[in-house]
Structure 1
Amino acid sequence: MSSSPPANRADPWRARLLATLRVQYPDTLAERGFRLLDPRTGDPYTADRRHLVATCRATANFALGALASGPDWCVSAAEHGLSFLQDGHRGEEGYHLVVTADGDPVDRTRSAYGHAFVLLACARATEAGIEGARSTLETTHRLIEDRFFDDRGMLGSDRDAVWNELEPYRGQNANMHACEAYLAAYEATGEEAYLDRARHLARTITVDLAAATDGRLWEHYTADWEHDFTYNESEPRHQFRPPGYQPGHHLEWAKLLALLDRYGDAPGPAEGWYARALSLFDRAVADGWTENGFIYTHGHDGSPIVSDQYGWALAEAIGASGALAERAAARDKNGTADTASRLRRLNRRFTVCTDLYRGPAGVWYEKRLAPEAGGDLVAPEPPGVEPDYHPVGAFYECWRSVRAMSPEAGSDPPR
């Protein structure tokens, strides 16, 4: 009678990650690129359009599956995505935001946010050992440096097809995802220049600019990086640039700062990356948590602007609490055992809530409407930007954080 190998505490996180990818594979793969799946039925949407962010997110997702020693199809699916990124989205210079399945441009915008995800996809694919990914990573890094960074070393606004700036705008969201991408590039290559770039982006947004808003993170800025408190105030439900503070982005930054803490405090905030990360996390929970999810946005006084609860914010809370618990445990000698225990309890509470956002087919809905609006679940609309990117990333961070803490899982470094 054979016996199974002993389980360890990291196994459930790996299982969640791979289960999410199994829902996606193979139905999300089209002949060219990826298709969005309906969370109610699991059927692919029939829209012919492919969104750059969705292509990059799906590629990064399957690369993470490969890094977690998933099935061979994780590698082949990531290769499939990287191929369409180059053959479908790539223009003469830069990447088209929306294309058809044949690669015909529908929206030629050179999106700063979208190019940050190109860098992320290439970084994850590089770490997964996919052929050609590293050279594309390096080319994309140079493109972003040349075309998007301003004189403060931050991402500027979107460009048109010939690289004219579309508006005098600066946004924390594109810079946050650029920080994520540069962290992934460092983890994939070990090149300090990428880590330095991630640190600079993180310090500027979460320390320097946040000093004017009592530590909270504002979303929108002028071309001179002055807070623009009136930007899109008439569009509270804007998909990518809503007005107000977003607890979900505080959580996402908390996760990224926890990762930066793994690689040393300097140069960073005076209190250190870990302390700043914990502060952002606790602020998000205090301002946004509703026992079943996080409100989307709130104003300066903390009152909700949009009370809808997005699945991505819950996923980021899972990833942030997992990574922060690992960093707190690493500081146990400094009296942070109670903090680590509190973070693990919250991590379990957040994880229980995932059932509220997952559809019958296993794919996550985009959001739940506010209780006063009925609380209905809302599916993403095609071409979509791949809602399961956030859960996959959260499960991956929890998996490698637990591995860093658990002797029975091996003492692999978090990278």
Structure 2
Amino acid sequence: MQPWYDLASHRQWLQGETVNLLDFGRNVVHPDGGAGVLDDNGQPILDQPVYTWISCRMVHVYSIGALLGLPGSKPVAQNVLDGLSTRLRDADGGGWFSSIGADGPEADKSAYAHAFVLLAGTSATRAGLEGGRELLDDAIAVFEKYFWDEQAGKLVDTWNTDFSELDPYRGINANMHGVEAMLAVADVTEDPIWLLRAQRVVDFVIDQAKGHDWQIPEHYDATWVPLLDYNDDRRDDQFKPYGVTIGHSLEWARLILHLEASLDKLGLPHGDFLDASRSLFRAAVDKGWHVDGEPGFVYTTDWEGVPVVRGRMHWVAAEGVGAAAALWHRTHEDEYAEVYAAWWDYIDVHLIDHERGSWFHELDVENVPAAIVWPGKPDLYHAVQATLIPRLPLTPSLASAIAEGLIK
């Protein structure tokens, strides 16, 4: 059977899903500035905080919508960016608040949020948004001053509001999105230092995964010693769950191949990234997919591969199709085309809300919509990217590739 990647009809379906998703979120702009958390019907939940990371993700996807020529996308991106550049920006202390709610700004500044500011800045720049390049330049300055640890070759995680106190916790999640952002910054600025920084992070992650049966420790102390029991008492934490996060293994499998392609393009040396990508992918699938009697990826496992949080998160399936697409692009091996098709079938049957739009963000162990970890349908980032990655080359990054007319 002809792989779906080669079918114009499949690419047309992906484009249709991109359009559907962006149409669902078109009311995301919060009246006070930034992007609201979306409910099940695509309306902003006004009594929820406005999060910097969600606002950045919405700037990113609607900038891509503008680059795709989808009417209405650019005004959404511009309006959210305006809130990101004003309300969410700390004009006194520098950087961006993680969120702002009814009681004021959240009292920390995180690498996770600032990585997404970088990503938003690159996409806004590519889309020609007013203030896009200024946002990117500002984000680069803050990122280099406070979050990139040159000696460690990785990102620190969390500062207090005035950048006077650094939390000893170190995390892989922020570094993962840091790598994604650094790839995009390298494309926009044409400065290879960002690829070399990303490479240092990736080399560390690969080394850690090799030592843990191709499972990635997520949590570390200030000296980068893994904390394997971290949050054992809060196993379903939204950002720092205990154990192995299956979706992150899939996401890393993809990002490693994007970095490989970017380094190869410039003739820069690197390790065996393809083997690492394959190994991470295989371990995630073996331990995460359809392992408890029902289709779908479990959220987390313990270090023996036993499921811990068995709920199905939409973003894990999205990263599954993205990783399978990247590995197929890299190898053209049938196994990746086969799981890619199977996972889109799963997404269509269980995750896409064919009545109200977008994707259910969380399902229970029987694939029934749930709201234990993630209520509502907060943002579009993972789902939109899942519809784009199969239609793009491994390099440059998404917005840059679309700006250069490389989408199929």
Please indicate the TM-score interval, normalised by the length of the shorter structure: 0.7 to 0.9
Distance 1:43 1:147, change over 3 A: closer
Q: Deviations over 1:58-107 (max 9, x none)?
A: 1111112223x232322221111211101110002011111149xx8331
Residue 350 of structure 1: aligned partner: 343
Residue 361 of structure 2: aligned partner: 366
- Alignment of 1:307 onto 2:300: no
Matching residue within 388, 396, 401 for 2:380: 388
- Alignment of 1:319 onto 2:311: no
Read off the aligned partner of 1:344 and give its amino acid letter: A
Residue 39 of structure 2: aligned partner: 38
Q: CA deviation at 1:35?
A: 2.2
* Range moving further from structure 2, 11-20 or 305-314: 11-20
Work out the CA distance in 1 between the residues paired with 2:377 and 2:136: 21
Work out the CA distance in 2 between the residues paired with 1:225 and 1:380: 28
Distance 1:369 1:165, change over 3 A: farther
Q: CA deviation at 1:292?
A: 2.7
User: Sequence identity of aligned pairs in percent?
Assistant: 31
Distance 1:88 1:308, change over 3 A: same
- Alignment of 1:106 onto 2:110: no
Work out the CA distance in 2 between the residues paired with 1:186 and 1:348: 32
Residue 121 of structure 1: aligned partner: 120
Indicate if the aligned counterparts of 1:308 and 1:368 stay in contact, CA closer than 8 A: yes
Read off the aligned partner of 2:156 and give its amino acid letter: G
TM-score after normalising by structure 2: 0.86
Distance 1:385 1:126, change over 3 A: farther
Distance 1:310 1:381, change over 3 A: closer
- Alignment of 1:178 onto 2:178: yes
Work out the CA distance in 1 between the residues paired with 2:45 and 2:178: 29
Work out the CA distance in 2 between the residues paired with 1:241 and 1:33: 25
Distance 1:8 1:186, change over 3 A: farther
Q: CA deviation at 1:118?
A: 0.7
Distance 1:253 1:402, change over 3 A: closer
Distance 1:324 1:129, change over 3 A: farther
Read off the aligned partner of 2:307 and give its amino acid letter: P
Read off the aligned partner of 1:144 and give its amino acid letter: F
Where does structure 2 lack aligned partners over 5 or more consecutive residues?
A: 1-6, 397-401
Where does structure 1 lack aligned partners over 5 or more consecutive residues?
A: 1-5, 330-338
Residue 56 of structure 1: aligned partner: 56
Alignment coverage as a number of residue pairs: 384
Indicate if the aligned counterparts of 2:262 and 2:395 stay in contact, CA closer than 8 A: no
Matching residue within 346, 365, 378 for 2:371: 378
Q: Deviations over 1:264-309 (max 9, x none)?
A: 454432x2x2222122112111110016321111111111111111
Indicate if the aligned counterparts of 1:37 and 1:363 stay in contact, CA closer than 8 A: no
Residue 3 of structure 2: aligned partner: none
Q: CA deviation at 1:48?
A: 5.2
Indicate if the aligned counterparts of 2:236 and 2:373 stay in contact, CA closer than 8 A: no
Work out the CA distance in 2 between the residues paired with 1:385 and 1:43: 9
Work out the CA distance in 1 between the residues paired with 2:110 and 2:387: 27
Secondary structure of the corresponding residue to residue 100 of structure 2: strand
Work out the CA distance in 2 between the residues paired with 1:229 and 1:162: 30
Q: CA deviation at 1:17?
A: 1.4
Indicate if the aligned counterparts of 2:37 and 2:50 stay in contact, CA closer than 8 A: no
Work out the CA distance in 2 between the residues paired with 1:183 and 1:398: 18
**Superposed, which structure 2 residues align to 1:3-402 within 5 Å?**
7=8, 10-25=11-26, 27-31=27-31, 32-39=33-40, 41-47=41-47, 49-67=49-67, 69-91=68-90, 92=92, 93-100=94-101, 105-150=104-149, 151-205=151-205, 207-265=206-264, 266-269=268-271, 271=272, 273-290=273-290, 292-329=295-332, 339=333, 341-355=334-348, 356-359=350-353, 360-371=355-366, 375-378=368-371, 386-401=378-393
Work out the CA distance in 2 between the residues paired with 1:186 and 1:402: 14
Work out the CA distance in 1 between the residues paired with 2:370 and 2:276: 33
Secondary structure of the corresponding residue to residue 226 of structure 2: coil
Indicate if the aligned counterparts of 2:260 and 2:270 stay in contact, CA closer than 8 A: no
Read off the aligned partner of 2:340 and give its amino acid letter: N
How much is the aligned-residue C-alpha RMSD, in angstroms? Answer: 2.7
Read off the aligned partner of 2:34 and give its amino acid letter: G
Q: CA deviation at 1:387?
A: 3.8
